Amino acid sequence: MALNSDGSALLMEPHLLRPDVTGLPGQDDSITQTTAATAPTGSKSETISKAVFLGGVTFLGLLSGFGSALAMAKKRDPTSFDKGLLPEAKKLESGASFALRALGWGTLYAVSGVGLLCFTVYKILDVQSALDFRQKMKNLMPSVPKREPNPSERTEFASIREFFEYYGEEKRK
């Protein structure tokens, strides 16, 4: 590994070479050298300690956010907050009606989300019909070339079993 005068490592990156830029005097023109300030030089325990630190900071952030949200809810309406903490004999909703209500809301969100997505794409692409959309996408996307089947290859099978037997034979070859 090559080192700079300050002791930092050098990385050789030939894919970054630009043909219109010449190298410095004494520098090999076939490669570009960059200082590796973030080169992986740490040990496994150092990496683990960094991950634990990041996880701890994330956990503390989530905990403080949740705690502040609870404190704000209690501050806004203490009676409702206390009512939610104390167990009361209240009439519970049946599982079937709860599931039906959840299915209804889920369906509403899914349909409206897909509708909004389609509407946004149609407005961005400025199309008026499905055929117009097809032509725009055909112009935007690259075409997939069709491959002609090899005459020795089979393309028609009577059943899935026959296909898997053929595939197994071809794989053994």
Report residue 42's pLDDT band, with 50, 70 and 90 as the boundaries: low
| Average pLDDT along the chain | 76
3-state secondary structure of 93: coil
Q: Which helix (DSSP H) or strand (DSSP E) does residue 10 occupy?
A: strand 10-12
Count other C-beta atoms under 10 Å from residue 144's C-beta: 6
pLDDT above 70: percentage of residues in the chain: 71
Q: Buried (b) or exposed (e) across 92-118, using 16+ Cβ within 10 A?
A: eeeeeeeeeeeeeeeeeeeeeeeeeee
Task: Give the residue, 8 or 103, on which the prediction is more confident.
Answer: 103
Per residue in 53-93, pLDDT (tens digit) is 888 888 888 888 888 888 888 888 887 777 766 666 566 77
Integer Cα distance of 172 and 136 in angstroms? 45
For the chain, the structural domain boundaries read: 1-38, 50-84, 100-142
Question: How far is Cα 39 from Cα 126, in angstroms, rounded to an integer?
Answer: 47
In sequence order, what are the beta bridge partners of 43? none
Answer whether residue 145 shows pLDDT above 90: no
- Predicted TM-score (pTM) of this structure: 0.34
